[in-house]
Homo-oligomer: A and B are copies of this chain.
Amino acid sequence: MNISALLTSAGINIGLCLVFLSLYSVLRKQPSNACVYFGQRLAQLRSKGRDHFSFDRFVPSPRWIVKAWEASEEEILACGGLDAVVFLRLVVFSRRIFSIAAVICIPFVLPLNYFGKEMRHQHIPSESLDVFTIGNVKEGSKWLWAHCLALYVISCSACVLLYFEYKNITKMRLEHIVGSSLDPSYFTILVRAIPSSAEESCSDSVKNFFTRYHASSYLSHQMVYRSGTVQKLMDDASKMIKCTSTEQFGSYLKGCGLCGGAAHSFKVLSSEPESVRSGNEMVNPELREKECAAALVFFKTRYAALVASQVLQSANPMSWVTDLAPEPHDVYWKNLSVPYRQLWVRRIATLLASIGFMILFILPVTFVQGLLHLEQLQRIFPFLRGVLKRKFMVRLITGYLPSVVLMLFLYAVPPTMMMFSTIEGPISRSGRKKSACFKVLYFLIWNVFFVYVSSAKILERVGLFYSPKDMTAQLATTVPGQATFFMTYVLTSGWASLASEIMQPYALLCNFVYKYILRKKEEPSNGTLSFPYHMEIPRVLLFGFLGFTYSLMAPLILPFLLVYFFLASLVYRNQILNVYVTKYQSGGRFWPMMHNTTIFSLVLTQVIAIGVFGLKRSTVAAAFTVPQIIFTLLFNEYCRQRFHPVFKDNAAQVLMEMDRKDEQCGSMEAIHKQLPSAYCQFAYTPNILRKAVSLNLCKDGDDDVSICIPEDANPGSKPAQGNDSRGPSSMEIEELKK
């Protein structure tokens, strides 16, 4: 592949991006698309009917760029929560470090590569891209010192930047904890593996255990019920209630005692939750048998909950297992009823399944590899020979098609990993997303690695692949050779994915179908779309990974990457501000993963550099790179010691100060009253939310809203606005007012 093929690829992508961005700037002004592009805003405030026609609506404008650029960190924190800020910090960090790398590598390293060998250079556009890589530097060249120095500069700046980011984010996390002091999750622990006994119900066991061992701080508890059975009960009840009035149905929901229910039942429950609960148990005696061996236990102070969640409760570690409860919206109720003793088996099974999936993915990668080698392809598919005679087609196929194919295959990865993470049994949605994020990340990096090492002759090399000594040399020979592929990958996967992210083609299509083909009048509330961290974080980290490994080897990749990161910071800011709704967050827990991956990329870059210096017979430069690795690893270990514990556990000091403040200002009582109604396992989900769920499931497999929806509101029935007067309409209004 030569420069002109690369430029073809770049041209196509730039064109596509411009078209998409212009389209976006037009489409976002159409009132009918407000629910696609302003989910976040809609959730905050009902958009005023701006249905009037104006010419301005059809002119592309860069206003959204200005708005996104001007948004401050506080605004983003308010809209997207700490996770969004952390994600944007990652993009900013990448932008900064690759700007530094570009400043160093493009003026100093690139010419060294280009003039590395004494050769007759061709006219630049038809020059092969390989002459811009380190592969073109001749053996034993003294100029390799420049590469070594550049690597030092990049490593040091990366460490310094990472340190300040980690410090800053740790500070933000602590502020977030203090700021979200009313969060009921601080007062709540999740108890699993409650031992069953014939004499007493699980609920009584919990009560007895905690009044015995945590008498001074125990407040109350709430059992978790098997969703299937309770759902059936609720369905039966709702059928029964259909015969009676709507009012009575409301009061049934209010007093069912399984949960606090909606906001209007707060007062009843919170005034005397225990009596209500015991009363309900008389009403629904069969519920006892449907209890899971799990419960949410509420404590009087945050510190007491923290302590109860961290200490090993029982001499049998497989019973009375405690964890801090997730935020109410974050709880993944379905998994709470999974028996605790199944969890380790599930974890192993999903691990094996993910590894199997990774290995099976070799097939499409091999196919993509084949596309890069036209001669082989022509041998296998002779009919291509005619097509490939035309020069433009060759450019297209080598420069563009491989990464498109790979990208399409890669689209299947996040939903699959999300499914594995669901089976794994995490108790919170954010935990599930984090786990999926890890899986996708490992998957991407492993596959990129495989692409590195496998260039064309995969199966022959599998045997040698595992030897670390070989591997360094292997990487050193193949990494520069694969630069071409990854440049086009950045162009297609990177730029195009951003364009598609901002366009939201799928949601747009759904919206179109919903409004103009199905002719529904009401707005399909898109408000429950949450940011797909498990897709976006691995992608940005992968580009960082590519950036680090190629910054020295093939600095030509840096401009493309910089464009990507600049665009990314704009697009993601816009999306966080306008599209996605943040119902739950992990409180910045994604950062340690980002940090570790960056360190991994850095160390791998250094290892590859050692390999390359070794191959080029510049052993002194190779030896001088070794201290960098040691320094980087030590730096990582320091950060792990200094910052990481804050992301694992909450500090007692912080929680105690919060407790003390609340006690002094007397707000503790009010918090205690609201606690028992904070977690609601069986929400009555109105139709409007159901649609959101279906939309959302398509998007990222993240069924944010409780999966249990009463049967009378099944999706098949056409929910006409008029005759379905009993709940949805009023709740919808309430929800939008929030």
Contacts and interface: CB of A to CB of B under 8 A. Distances in A.
Interface of A: 174, 213, 306-307, 310-318, 320, 341, 344-345, 348, 463-464, 466-470, 634, 637-638, 641-646, 648-654, 656
A424 to B, nearest CB: 15
B311 A652 contact: yes
Nearest to A315: B651
Given A315-B654, A317-B645, 18 more contacts: A213-B652, A213-B656, A307-B311, A310-B310, A310-B311, A311-B652, A312-B646, A312-B648, A312-B649, A312-B651, A314-B652, A314-B653, A317-B651, A344-B637, A344-B638, A348-B634, A463-B467, A467-B467
Nearest to A653: B314
A663 to B, nearest CB: 13
A467 B461 CA distance: 12
A651 B466 CA distance: 43
A312 B315 CA distance: 22
Given A311-B652, A463-B467, A463-B469, A641 B318 contact: yes
Given A344-B637, A344-B638, A649 B311 contact: yes
22 contacts: A174-B315, A213-B656, A307-B307, A307-B311, A311-B652, A312-B645, A312-B652, A313-B652, A314-B653, A315-B653, A316-B642, A317-B642, A317-B643, A317-B645, A317-B651, A344-B638, A463-B467, A463-B470, A466-B467, A466-B468, A466-B469, A467-B467
A468 to B, nearest CB: 6
A108 to B, nearest CB: 34
Nearest to A216: B216
Contacts of A466: 466-469
A468 B468 CA distance: 11
Contacts of A467: 463-464, 466-467
The 6 closest A-B pairs by CB, nearest first: A317-B645, A315-B651, A311-B652, A312-B649, A466-B467, A307-B307
Nearest to A637: B344
A320 B311 CA distance: 19
A652 B318 CA distance: 14
A314 B643 CA distance: 12
B317 A306 contact: no
Contacts of A645: 312, 317
A348 B315 CA distance: 34
A312 B643 contact: no
A404 B311 CA distance: 50
Contacts of A634: 345, 348
A113 B313 CA distance: 53
A317 B644 contact: yes
Contacts of A654: 315
Contacts of A469: 463, 466
Contacts of A307: 307, 311
A20 B341 CA distance: 53
A641 B469 CA distance: 37
A250 to B, nearest CB: 43
Contacts of A311: 306-307, 310, 649, 652
Given A213-B652, A213-B656, A466-B469, A646 B344 contact: no
Contacts of A341: 641
Contacts of A312: 645-646, 648-652
A236 B691 CA distance: 84
A633 to B, nearest CB: 8
A322 to B, nearest CB: 10
A595 to B, nearest CB: 15
A398 B656 CA distance: 70
Contacts of A306: 311
Contacts of A652: 213, 311-314
B313 A348 contact: no
B213 A313 contact: no
A646 B307 CA distance: 17
Contact of A318 (B310, B463, B642, B656): B642
A650 to B, nearest CB: 7
Contacts of A653: 213, 313-315, 320
Contacts of A313: 651-653
A314 B170 CA distance: 13
A700 to B, nearest CB: 31
A574 B121 CA distance: 84
A644 B313 CA distance: 14
A649 B311 CA distance: 8
A69 B651 CA distance: 53
